[in-house]
Amino acid sequence: MGRRSKQAEHSPEEIREMALAAAKRIVAKQGYGALSTRKVAADIGYAVGSLYLVFKNLDDLILHVNGSTLDDLHNALEATAVRCRDPETCLLALAREYIQFAFTNRALWSLVFEHPAPQRRPTWYQDKVARMFEMVEGQLRGIAPERAPKDLKLAAHALWSGVHGVSVLGLADRLDESGRAAAEKLAASLVTNYLVGFKQKTKNRG
Amino acid sequence: MGRRSKQAEHSPEEIREMALAAAKRIVAKQGYGALSTRKVAADIGYAVGSLYLVFKNLDDLILHVNGSTLDDLHNALEATAVRCRDPETCLLALAREYIQFAFTNRALWSLVFEHPAPQRRPTWYQDKVARMFEMVEGQLRGIAPERAPKDLKLAAHALWSGVHGVSVLGLADRLDESGRAAAEKLAASLVTNYLVGFKQKTKNRG
């Protein structure tokens, strides 16, 4: 696309959204290595300078790309959560959805977890990460409402880091059987067995 | 270090070992992005051409760096396994050791899991990966010797992918509390609760 005339045709907010969408397309199609501010600017038909009016630098653009990927992931998980019945079935369905998202959005998903984060990520970004664990925590609370909030939080982080590990190794094909079906089987084993321990501890305390 | 005289002072096997050690030092100190065949050659005082006599290309060098890191990890895990008492204590100790290795060999460990693997990794490399899961499988067999080998294999992969996930997110500081202590706590929760489910299933079948 040619460069647009100097008189901006879009508001800064519109340029920002266009740039984010273009960056996501580039990462999804060509991988993270192909991403540059020059390429994003060319794709939306603006000069690189226009991009620097809405993003500080490439790292800032990537942070927002990752934030947008976390939104997509959240939407996918929420759509699953509203359909499922009991907390245990929901956690199994959420694990499957998490793995499916990772497999269908391979490059964007990897970028969220592999790109070195700035020393301190902004609050809006941290909130997007926390939201995912909170969804898991909510299901665990459904299983054991009497457990202390800090126990539920620990369990949510432990269990979901585990599901994350299955996705990571599944994607990297470091697992013995390859592909998504194998990853789903492992995640189901992880969730089911973990919940037996989680529920037993709850029973012993109750 | 200056370039050595054309008459090789070392055997190809020695050059190979020196190059691997140099590559590992570079990754550990400066990160993966700093690794190049030029830099490795300069570090050991040989021309780049000499490096290409023992490694096909940078990817081949990285594959061997990763193989060597997997050896280091295996040695660390084995040293832990010979010291621990019962299988459950051993699995908890192995999880702690795995996390400690990841935290103390951050860049090298990440390279093993983040570097895109060639379509088909050579058997010698696959064996090094399999060996880690087999160690976990051996401990699970100690807990439930009557379980079918394929069940033990599945459980080992599920549990250790989980521990891996805790390490990944712990290192990336994507976990709520930061640092190794938090990762260790999550791994302990994962292993302990998973084993309750694993043992219960065993009992129900026995």
Give how far the C-alpha of residue B179 lies from the chain's centroid of Cα atoms, to the nearest Å: 19
pLDDT tier at B120 (50, 70, 90 boundaries)?
Answer: confident
Mean pLDDT of B74-102: 96
Q: Give B161's contacts in chain A (Cβ within 8 Å).
A: 162, 165-166, 168-170, 175, 186, 190
pLDDT tier at A206 (50, 70, 90 boundaries)?
Answer: very low
Q: Inspect the interface and report whether the beta carbons of B166 and A163 lie closer than 8 Å.
A: no
Q: What angle do CA A50, A55, A59 make, to 5 degrees?
A: 130
By a Cβ cutoff of 8 Å, what residues of chain B touch chain A? Answer: 113-114, 117, 129-130, 133, 153-155, 157-159, 161-170, 172-176, 185-187, 189-190, 192-198, 200-201
Model ipTM?
0.89
Minimal CA separation from B13 to chain A, in Å: 28
Q: Give B155's contacts in chain A (Cβ within 8 Å).
A: 189, 193
Q: Give A167's contacts in chain B (Cβ within 8 Å).
A: 165
Q: Inspect the interface and report whether the beta carbons of B190 and A194 lie closer than 8 Å.
A: yes
Statement: residue A6 has pLDDT above 70:
no
Of B173, B172, B168, the closest CA to residue B99 belongs to B168
Q: Which CATH number fits domain B58-205: 3.20.20.70, 3.50.50.60, 1.10.357.10, 3.90.1150.10?
A: 1.10.357.10
- Percent of chain A at pLDDT > 70 equals 90
User: Could you tell me which CATH number the domain at A12-54 has?
Assistant: 1.10.10.60
Return the residue of B nearest to A165 by Cα: B165
Q: Inspect the interface and report whether the beta carbons of A186 and B158 lie closer than 8 Å.
A: yes
Minimal CA separation from A49 to chain B, in Å: 27
CA distance linking residue A195 with residue B92, whole number of Å: 18
The angle, 0 to 180 degrees and rounded to 10, between the axes of the packed helices A123-143 and A149-171 is 110
Return the residue of A nearest to B193 by Cα: A197
| pLDDT tens profile B154-181 | 999 999 999 999 998 888 765 555 688 9
Write down the pLDDT at residue B206. 44
| pLDDT tens profile A136-150 | 999 999 999 999 999
The angle, 0 to 180 degrees and rounded to 10, between the axes of the packed helices A106-114 and A58-81 is 120
Write down the pLDDT at residue B160. 97
Domain ranges within chain B, ordered by starting residue? 12-54, 58-205
Q: Inspect the interface and report whether the beta carbons of A162 and B165 lie closer than 8 Å.
A: yes
CA distance linking residue B179 with residue B165, whole number of Å: 14
Q: Give A173's contacts in chain B (Cβ within 8 Å).
A: 117
Of B133, B189, B157, B125, the closest CA to residue A165 belongs to B157
Q: Inspect the interface and report whether the beta carbons of B114 and A117 lie closer than 8 Å.
A: no
Of A202, A29, A67, the closest CA to residue B196 belongs to A202
Sign of the dihedral defined by the CA atoms of residues A182, A162, A129, A145, in that order: positive
Q: Inspect the interface and report whether the beta carbons of B173 and A117 lie closer than 8 Å.
A: yes
Statement: residue A114 has pLDDT above 80:
no
Return the residue of B nearest to A175 by Cα: B157
